[in-house]
Structure 1
Amino acid sequence: MSDYNIAPQILIPFGRLDAGKDLSALGSNSGLGDIILANTFFVYHDKDTKSTFGITPYLYLPTGQYSKNDSLNIGENRVKFTLQGAYTTQLAERLNWDVAGDFTLYGKNDDITGGGSLKQDLGFQFQTNARYRLTDMADLRAGLSYSDAGDTKQNGITTDSTKQTKFWVGTGISPTPTTQVILNYGRDLKVENGFKEDNRINLRLMKVF
């Protein structure tokens, strides 16, 4: 009998993008994002310290809203694969700490403004998050991340990668043992070679079957 536990997931993002200030001419867009297939393999678990380590592959399918004629898109019109390793442990009776790192391989986008194909180098991200349990059903959380998306290439021209540092605060609520709602607010602290987000709100519903 295997000692490994797994947690298959299907994620269907929905988002809205609004450009403001000097970028207002880009307009706005909303719709479904690219469907994400994921499966976490829990390869380590220590009951004494309540620590776990999991490895999660993510496969992004090009199903989201996308048009090369739009300046802002929810979908990316390409396949992506991300492999993440994450460690979580209990620091105190009600306080947990998470740390994770991942890398992403990108497929090509062959339908872009200006013609040709968009290619992208390997990207990576590191993030850390703390969760304080208020009750058995609810927690408060805050986190910080840094990402380097990888250089992009189009028609022989290379563009330096987008580097992003951001934070978030929020809450996780579990109304039933198999249901969780996560609500986070965040914003970018620093961005190089990309758009800076002033405000972001993420709402995630997870149902375990």
Structure 2
Amino acid sequence: MIHFLRRSSLAVFCAALAAAPVSAADVNSGDYLPAPAGTNLLVFYSQYATRDEYVSSSGQNFSNDTGLDSYVNILRYVHYFDIGGFTVAPQVLIPAGTLYNGRFEGTAFDAAAGVADPILATTVWVVNNKATQTYIGIMPYLFLPVGQYSAGQVLNLGENRWKLDLQVGWYQGLTNAVALQLTGDVVWYGDNTQGGNGTQTLSQDPTYQLQAWLSYAFAPTWSAAVGYSQFWGGTEYLAGMPTGNATDRSQVRLELSKFVTPTFQVLGLIQRDVAASGGFPEAFRGTVRLLQVF
């Protein structure tokens, strides 16, 4: 279990955290509502998260001088066009930031800063029915292993492995002001051959996620939403042995957005894990998103 591991093996605990702040699988409440062909979006996310305990996959809780903070910015570009009767939105995401205040039972970790793994993605709407307000899209995300990574270091922004996330989303307008959005993900992980002490192989089982958003446009330029996310799976192994890490967690979310002008939106989001095992639960995550349509 976790309390028998040496400092070199503690690197494994934080390997999953390095990408958690920039997880492309997380969606906002209107992400599966397509824009007209020819539309471009430039999106900027600024995100802070804090964690003050570690819970192993067996349920052991470690909260004495334990935690991790992160501050991450993401720049995202999206372009919409029609092809063969389908609306398609290719996009690229560039995350960068810092992981700091990392510690486990009094053992402090060096901070990490830099660019995380860039992400290439494309949404294809297989259902795009404006009359019934029904939209269904399929979106693969490919994480490129070129972000900041130092073998043997506990905290890294990059994961030093390929990662593929396949997401399916359904957006359904219930009234002119109320909408429901549901998404499901499965994530496959390549091996990190420089895990642990820098010479060990870190592998991980697939991760699964379900997200639900209920949004309400309570004024012409304002919208609020409540959300829930459930993660499971993702058991990690270092040199073939379980590390105690996984991705089991339940999370609640609140979102508020406003179009300041017809083409510029400001969105605020707060999140908190309400149950978790196999990692560092997020005590708080706050995000500000700026979106420019052109």
TM-score range relative to shorter protein: 0.7 to 0.9
Deviates more, 1:135-144 or 1:2-11: 135-144
Q: 1:96 to 1:28 in 2, by over 3 A?
A: farther
Q: How far apart are 1:186 and its partner, in Å?
A: 0.7
Structure 2 gaps of 5+ residues are 1-82
Cα distance in 1 for partners of 2:163, 2:123 equals 17
Query: How big is each residue's C-alpha offset from its partner over 1:34-68, in whole Å with a ceiling of 9 and x where there is no partner?
Result: 21111100100222321100000101112333333
Query: What is residue 17 of structure 2 aligned with on the other side?
Result: none
Cα distance in 2 for partners of 1:193, 1:175 equals 41
Q: Which one of the candidate residues 267, 277, 286 is aligned to 1:201?
A: 286
Q: What letter matches 1:167 in structure 2?
A: V
* 1:117 and 2:201 aligned: yes
Matched-pair identity in %: 34
Q: Deviating runs (4+, > 6 A) in structure 1?
A: none
Q: How far apart are 1:204 and its partner, in Å?
A: 3.4
Q: 1:29 to 1:117 in 2, by over 3 A?
A: same
* Alignment map for 1:25-174 (pairs within 5 Å): 25-26=108-109, 28-114=111-197, 115-159=199-243, 161-174=246-259
Please give the root-mean-square deviation of Cα atoms over the aligned residues, in Å: 2.5
Query: What is residue 89 of structure 2 aligned with on the other side?
Result: 7
Query: What is residue 61 of structure 2 aligned with on the other side?
Result: none
Q: How far apart are 1:72 and its partner, in Å?
A: 2.8
Cα distance in 1 for partners of 2:237, 2:98 equals 26
Kept in 1, the 8 Å contact 2:134–2:170? The answer is yes
Q: How far apart are 1:159 and its partner, in Å?
A: 3.6
Q: How far apart are 1:208 and its partner, in Å?
A: 5.1
Q: 1:23 to 1:134 in 2, by over 3 A?
A: farther
Q: 1:174 to 1:37 in 2, by over 3 A?
A: farther
* 1:182 and 2:267 aligned: yes
Q: What letter matches 1:158 in structure 2?
A: P
Structure 1 gaps of 5+ residues are none
The size of the alignment, in residue pairs, is 209
Q: What letter matches 1:132 in structure 2?
A: Y
Q: 1:30 to 1:190 in 2, by over 3 A?
A: farther
